[in-house]
Amino acid sequence: MRFAIPAVLVFLSVTTVPMRASGFDDKVFDQQSIDLLAAKASQAQPREQCFLYAELVHEMTEFSVQKYAAGDVEKAAELLRQIQGLTHKIHLAVAEDSKRTRNTEILLRHTAFRLTGLLHSSSFEDQSLVAETLAQVNQVQNEAMMQVFRK
């Protein structure tokens, strides 16, 4: 019973994952916007950092998907490795603020959805890196979700 509410919410969050790219991906992502966001995230106030790093992970995921589709597998893989480093920063910065944490969780869920798409479309030799990245994003998404429940 103790786990009933989180279990229902996990189920709901999994089943309500957007079926296609929505407003999150309307923007065009490039290295310049990623660099700007990285600078903004690192100098931001600690309370803001969690969401900004989640935003950065999302932008880098989208850019990685673009690069992979364009055949630049090396750049796509480099971005995924960088994302893995950033998930640790999200873990450290998961905020106590419920609204910000909720937004972070939604964005990470969408990012995980995009990575799942990439996992299915990538070639066999690239799949382990994508799967590892996806696992880390899932982990911080769960953490953000549990933080929301704690409130």
Is residue 151 near other proteins by the rule CB under 8 A? no
Q: CB under 8 A: which stretch of 1-9, 43-51, 76-84, 109-117 binds other proteins? A: 43-51
- What is the spatial distance between Cα 147 and Cα 125, in angstroms, rounded to a whole number? 35
Six-digit token string for 130 = 């994508």
Is residue 42 near other proteins by the rule CB under 8 A? yes
Is residue 49 near other proteins by the rule CB under 8 A? yes
* Backbone conformation region of residue 89, classed left if phi is above 0, alpha if psi is from -120 to 50, else beta: alpha
State which of residues 96, 98, 149, 151 lies at the interface with other proteins (CB under 8 A): 96
**Mutual orientation of helices 73-93 and 46-69 as an angle, nearest 10°?**
160
Q: Of 2 and 20, which has the nearer Cβ to other proteins?
A: 2
Q: Which residue's entry shows tokens 């799949």?
A: 127
Six-digit token string for 54 = 């989640």
- What is the spatial distance between Cα 151 and Cα 147, in angstroms, rounded to a whole number? 7
State which of residues 30, 31, 43, 81 lies at the interface with other proteins (CB under 8 A): 43
Footprint (CB under 8 A) of other proteins, residues 100-139 = none
- Total chain residues near other proteins (CB under 8 A): 15
Q: Which residues have CB under 8 Å from 1's CB, separation 6+?
A: none
Is residue 140 near other proteins by the rule CB under 8 A? no
User: Binding residues for other proteins, per CB under 8 A?
Assistant: 39, 42-43, 45-47, 49, 89, 92-96, 143, 146
